[in-house]
Structure 1
Amino acid sequence: MAQTRFSHVKISGITAVVPEHTIVIDDEIEFFNNDIKLLERNKKILGLGTRHVADERTTNSDLCEAAARDLLQSLNVDKESIDALIVVSTSHDYHYPASACVLQGRLDLREDCTCFDISGIACSAYVHGLWVAHSLIASGAAHKCLLLAGDITSRHSDRRNRNSNMLFGDAGTATLLEYTEEEKPSFFVTGTRGKCWDKLIAPAGGYSLPMEADIAGLEITDESGNVWRMCDDIMKGLDVFRFTTDVGPRGIAEVLEFSGMDKDEVDYFAFHQANRQIVRTVAMYAGLPKEKYSAETFSMYGNCGSAAVTMDLCRQLSASPVRHVCMATFGVGLSWGFCLVDMKDTFVAPVKTFVTPESNMTRKEKIDYWISYFKGGNNA
């Protein structure tokens, strides 16, 4: 595993928002063959509860923009002082341009602010984003970096798919990092098991298998009755579970050893909220005390993809600030990211609800808009 240490970067603040619409698992008993025992068993094992789901008028950029505006206002940050903007997501509004470019314009950041996306690693992306932001600031390439992590994971599968859809919720988060003269050590451990790239994948929608008429309406029903589309996430669950329970405890042990700290010195362990079973299993294998981590963020918000670990930070630490935080994430690729950071004096806001503006376009309005745009051709 790759190891990196930084000394003069601080995390100034973190905010998170979720869309207003919610789905309660108890209201989905029809997807469990109307079997209350089956539903309760899934709730107990996986921790299924409530998840926030964006409507068709809400995009990932909407959620991340709202989180960013809240953060900048809360910290009274001059937007002119931000010199790098990073967006981590697998739910970008477009193939291109980068969501960071779109949000740079919407947030009215200065034109020489460096903007780019980190994509395709999903649930480990936040720690990778932190690592890149630390690198930019430590190198002197940037002084203040705005990191936006968010996903509309509810759209990554069909709601009829009980293998997948019931796990996922939507969220957008914002983190501000900046240079500090203060000695503030942070430690990162990252890695990838690329030979297992197809264990968690959305097969169609890229340029290997573009969405065209031959697959656009195709639905595949598996032996359990789950409905799949070619653009949906498909996960080889047992393989991914084995991966997380292998990499998770080892990654935590490695980042602790690298930092020279004992787990007793860490105030809180923030996990990627994949589901209750995975969080508890990794924590158990890592030998962590129950009071130092939580799997309940998943029960309240679902697996929010790249934003999941940030959601846990905001839910747990907004009212109970701590100093030494270890983050443990694992996701698509198969990839992982662990870090141990000093969050003394970091502003952490509670999770807020995003209300979609009435002016946001519906799907039909978007289609009509782009038809008109195309008809204009290359004319200015």
Structure 2
Amino acid sequence: MFTPVISGTGVFTPDQVVTNAELVEAFNAYADKQNALNAEAIAAGEVEPIGHSSEEFIVSASGIKQRFVMDKSGVLDPDRMYPALAERADDAPGIMTDMGVDACRKALAQAGVDASEVDLVICAASNHERAYPAIAVEIQQALGAGGFGFDMNVACSSATFGIQAAADMVRSGSVKKALVVNPEICSAHLEWRDRDCHFIFGDVATATLIERKEDAQGDHFEILSTRCLTQFSNNIRNNNGFLRRTREGTGALPDRRDMQFMQNGRKVFKEVLPIVSKHILGHMAEEGVAPDQLKRLWLHQANKTMNDFIGKKVLGRVPEEGEQPNILQDYANTSSAGSIIAFDKYSADLTPGDLGVICSFGAGYSVGSVLVKRA
């Protein structure tokens, strides 16, 4: 048996930013147009008018101040309100591949590892741009990696579930070096025309290199243990898979709202928080780790209030500055990539022996946690 370690992480950040001010302006223009088109029905009480959004509402509801996206022109067009991502030819690399390769190369550079040494690539994300061939295999080829690759989807928990799978294979000896890649084009499955959720998501890609401890050349974190949990719920759902339904007898695509991210926010908040807090505390207890031994919590970046609640439950007190870092204000919710961004940006200051937990949670419901120690 071998000890798996995280020896490198990388983050690809799109070069386009949508601020709350820009988003509010576009959304309110869309709302005004729709209300004008439906003025008679609204006056007759047959249709509810679309209310305006505001910067204050977005920050209060989520803690988000901006988000990075692959295409802001389509998102900010009041007549469109979703990204204009050009379809690529079959012989061209996919969008997720380009994003993922950038993050992988950064993780490899940090660890001082050549891509040819990698013998496993897992592409773990909440949505994939196609069903097959696997995005992971395309990333494997683009990098020049060996071995094999496969895709997996556990929504916002995909990164930690992928880390568990890779760590288990490294631990057993079936692979030596693995990349877990999380390319998230969340802007493509968000309904930007829905005031309740139009501000939530951003785009990004992360990568985590996992290898045997004896092979690690630089600073690294030992993966002490991993723990995953799923419990079915319809409260977070997305029907925009590769099985695209049509309206009976017309051949036309149905309204986009049925195909995009949907969530019953109140139920999610009420049900998920106890599950996540219990999961992390149970994982720590199994490994004999007390809350006061934990130096850092790298949580899924969905909502600041949710993270503050979980941090307080796990630590038994309000987290001190830096103990539970948030990157929401800059990146928004990036699904599975959020906890890895937080780890990438807020882990270098830990000293040997320090313990931390990487945790992601979301649709499913699903929760994944990774207990690590700075080596």
TM range (shorter): 0.7 to 0.9
Separation of aligned partners in 2, 1:43 and 1:15: 27
Give 3-state SS (helix, strand or coil) of 1:283's partner: helix
- Residues 302 and 138 of structure 1: is their aligned pair in 2 closer, same or farther, counting only changes over 3 Å? same
Whether 2:351 is the aligned partner of 1:316: answer no
Paired with 1:140 and 1:7, the residues of 2 have a C-alpha distance of 7
In 1, Cα distance between equivalents of 2:2 and 2:355: 14
Q: Distance in 1 between matches of 2:324 and 2:222?
A: 26
Matched, 1:340 2:340: no
Q: Is the 8 A contact 2:126 2:158 kept in 1?
A: no
1:243 Cα deviation (Å)? 2.3
Structure 2 CA distance for aligned equivalents of residues 181 and 336 of structure 1: 30
Q: Which amino acid aligns with 1:168?
A: F
- Letter of the structure 2 residue corresponding to residue 193 of structure 1: Q
How far 1:275 moved relative to its partner? 1.2
2:5–2:211 CA contact under 8 A, matched in 1: yes
Measured after TM superposition, the shift of residue 81 of structure 1 is: 1.6
Residue of 210, 219, 222 corresponding to 2:245 = 210
Structure possessing the higher relative contact order (Cα contacts under 8 Å, 6 or more residues apart): 1
Partner of 2:109: 73
Question: Is 1:63 equivalent to 2:99 in the alignment?
Answer: yes
Question: What's 2:283 paired with?
Answer: 255
Residue in structure 2 matched with residue 47 of structure 1 by the alignment: 63
Q: 1:303, CA displacement in angstroms?
A: 0.5
1:211–1:265 CA distance, 2 compared to 1 (3 A)? farther
Identify the match of residue 270 of structure 1 among 290, 298, 301: 298
Q: 1:74 Cα deviation (Å)?
A: 3.5
**1:93 alignment partner in structure 2:** 129
Which residue number in structure 1 is paired with residue 44 of structure 2?
none
* 1:325 equivalenced with 2:341 (yes/no): no
The partner residue of 1:125 within 155, 158, 175 is 158
Alignment root-mean-square deviation, CA: 2.6
Q: Unpaired runs of 5+ in structure 2?
A: 33-50, 72-84, 87-93, 216-220
8 A contact 2:297–2:325 mirrored in 1: no
Question: What letter corresponds to residue 141 of structure 2 in structure 1?
Answer: G
- Deviation of 1:212 (Å): 7.0
Do the aligned partners of residues 216 and 136 (structure 1) sit closer, same or farther apart at CA in structure 2, a change above 3 Å counting?
farther
Q: Secondary structure at the match of 1:105?
A: helix
Decide which moves more: 209-218 or 304-313.
209-218
Per the TM alignment, residue 296 of structure 1 is displaced from its structure 2 partner at its CA by 3.3
* 1:246 aligns with one of 274, 281, 292: 274
TM-score by length of 2: 0.79
1:147 shift after superposition: 1.1
Match of 1:230 in 2: 258
Mapped pair 1:26 → 2:50: no
Write the letter of the residue equivalent to 2:224: S
- Distance between the aligned counterparts of 2:282 and 2:322, measured in 1? 18
Establish whether residue 282 from structure 1 lines up as the match of residue 310 from structure 2: yes
8 Å CA contact retained: 2:192, 2:199: yes
Aligned to 2:37: none
Query: Structure 2 CA distance, aligned partners of 1:138 and 1:132?
Result: 10
The aligned counterpart of 1:349 is none
Query: 3-state SS of the aligned residue for 1:96?
Result: coil
Read off the aligned partner of 1:309 and give its amino acid letter. S
Matched, 1:300 2:330: yes
- Judging changes above 3 Å, is the alpha-carbon distance between structure 1 residues 38 and 285 closer, same or farther for their aligned structure 2 residues? farther
Distance (Å, rounded) in 2 between the aligned partners of 1:7 and 1:342: 15
Deviations 1:97-121 (A, max 9, x none): 11111111111223xx1210111x1
Contact 1:189–1:337 at 8 Å: present in 2 too?
Answer: yes
8 Å CA contact retained: 2:127, 2:155: no
Q: 1:188 aligns with which of 226, 240, 251?
A: 226
- Corresponding letter in the other structure for 1:187: S
Displacement of 1:42? 3.0
SS of the residue 2:327 aligns to: helix
SS of the equivalent of 2:199 reads helix
The offset of 1:334, in angstroms, is 1.2
Q: Shift of the alpha carbon at 1:337?
A: 0.8
Count of aligned pairs between the two proteins: 324
Secondary structure of 1:163's aligned partner? coil
SS in 2 for 1:296: coil
* Pairing 1:135-154 to 2, within 5 Å after superposition: 135-154=168-187
Q: Which whole-Å CA distance do the structure 1 matches of 2:197 and 2:96 have between them?
A: 20
The answer as to 2:119 corresponding to 1:83 is: yes
Q: 1:175 to 1:102 in 2, by over 3 A?
A: same
Equivalents in 1 of 2:265, 2:116: separation in Å? 45
SS of aligned partner of 1:122: coil
Q: Whole-Å Cα distance in 2 between the matches of residues 215 and 166 of structure 1? A: 32
> Counterparts of 1:357-376 in structure 2 under 5 Å?
none
Q: CA deviation at 1:21?
A: 0.4
Give the whole-Å Cα distance in 2 for the aligned partners of 1:243 and 1:307: 22
- In 2 relative to 1, CA 204–66 (structure 1 residues): closer, same or farther, beyond 3 Å? closer
Overall identity of the aligned pairs, in %:
24
